[in-house]
Structure 1
Amino acid sequence: MAYVYIIYSQVLDKYYVGHTTSLPGERLKKHLQKHKGFTSTAKDWEIVYTESFPDKLEAFARERQIKGWKSKVKIRELIEKGA
């Protein structure tokens, strides 16, 4: 099982889209730890959306599709539909 997840930081007013073979909650813990990278700039990330897939390749393809939108509006629409 693999997942696409979207996390949101209210401080930055930014979304981050990723994929993982871990449970999304476990992956979020890593984003909140001290590290180098985009998500290290805030510590208020929360999961706002997830999708599950049978394998990592499908999850990665979906992640690339969402990132390709380059649209906060489309991401918000996806989150609202999934809620």
Structure 2
Amino acid sequence: MKSPAIYILSNRPNGVLYIGVTSNLPNRIWQHRRGYLDGFSKQYRTHLLVYYEQFDDMHSAIAREKQLKHWKRTWKIELIERANPDWLDLYSSLF
């Protein structure tokens, strides 16, 4: 799974949300979980992968990330709950 992707992390259901983009989703989530990435995600302990989308190219992934970052919180929660109503950690589904 080394295609460009956007992802949403949370610290708990309906908790703090973090949106990111990467070219290697399993590796990036592993980095977040280990605390290797300083900043917002580390500070708020957003380690649960609750949503992701894959893309054919990085340009499309970055455009989607920017779009989601401008969405209202309620829209982001609706997006997550349509795909993952129980807010399960999707990390293991990457393998």
TM-score by length of 1: 0.83
Identify, as 1 or 2, the structure richer in strand. Answer: 1
SS class of match (2:51) = strand
CA contact (8 A) 1:4 1:59 kept: yes
Number of residue equivalences: 79
TM-score by length of 2: 0.74
Q: Deviations over 1:23-60 (max 9, x none)?
A: x2321111122342111114451100010100111000
Q: Equivalent pairs: percent with the same residue?
A: 32
CA RMSD of superposed structures (Å): 1.5
Query: Structure 1 CA distance, aligned partners of 2:11 and 2:26?
Result: 15
Partner of 2:47: 45
Runs of 5+ unmatched residues, structure 1: none
Partner of 2:70: 68
